[in-house]
Structure formats: C-alpha cells, structure tokens
Amino acid sequence: MTNSTRTYLSRYLTGTSRIMATSNRESEINKKEEEWREELTPEQFCVLRQHATERPHTSPLNKQYAKGTYVCAGCGQPLFTSGTKFDSGTGWPSFFHPIEGAIGTTVDKSLFMTRVEVHCSRCKGHLGHVFDDGPAPTGKRYCINGVSLKFIPD
C-alpha cells in the first residue's frame, strides 16, 4: 500500500486529513511497523496503530449481542465480555466495563478537545475512547472501534 493510499484511507476512516502519531509506550509485543502492516488489514492498521476512527454504524460488531468475548484484533488479548456490552446509540460497540487489566488509558487532546483514549494493555493498539455517560454500575461508556476487535463466541 502506498503512502497516498494510507493517507486516503485514514481520511476516509476519520473524516479528517490528520493522522495521529503511533504510540511508542512500552509494550509486551514489540513489532515493527511493517510487521503490523503485514498482519492487520489496512483498516485495522489505521485504527490500532495510527489512532484513526472508523465511521459509525459500519461495524457488524455494533449489533452483535451473542455471548462471548471481545478480543484485541492486534494481539488477541481478551478485552470485554458480552455481559458488559450495551447499545449506546453512537454507532460503535460500547461496553460499561473492561476485563480487569486488559486496557490502558492516555489523554487524547486531538480534534480540539480532551478525551481519554483506550488502548490494549498488551500491544498498545488504539481501541477507542471512554466517556462518563454510560449505564450503571460504572457510569462509563467504552466507545470502541469495531475494527479493533474480534468476537469469540462462547
């Protein structure tokens, strides 16, 4: 894939022309950019490694409510269980609680606002953001890009 194709794809996924920097935080999985590109689809690479956002209502996982576990599409780490999924009406899969120790957070100051970014604690792949407008018992809404997840049914 050429750089111009990646830029176009990033613009398509995010609706912007800006690509955020890939995280360089310590990770249990240390792969070079080319290794990630070979293992992930172009959409997964843009979201997980370049912090892009998929368009709302495009992921089949948004309406997936079978019993199972949602794992990181980058490294396979279990992130959320189906029992914590809810329909937030946002167009992205949403959860009110992650599996203990599965995610990390960082401050995201892109797009002229401050948000809390959610990433996989194992590979540091960008998953989405967490907001304080979710249901009980946590009051949290983990708004996750479906392309950054894989669903494993029970």
User: Which CA distances in Å does 88 have to 4, 30, 36, 50, 140?
Assistant: 34, 34, 30, 25, 11
CA distance 33 to 94: 28
Q: Cα-flanking dihedrals φ and ψ of residue 3, to 5°?
A: -60, -40
Q: Answer yes or no: are the C-beta atoms of 116 and 134 closer than 8 Å.
A: no
CA distance 93 to 151: 11
User: Which CA distances in Å does 19 have to 24, 50, 72, 100?
Assistant: 15, 6, 21, 30
Is 46 one of the catalytic residues?
A: no
CA distance 146 to 73: 9
Question: Of 72, 120, 123, 143, which one is the catalytic site residue?
Answer: 143
Which are the catalytic amino acids?
143
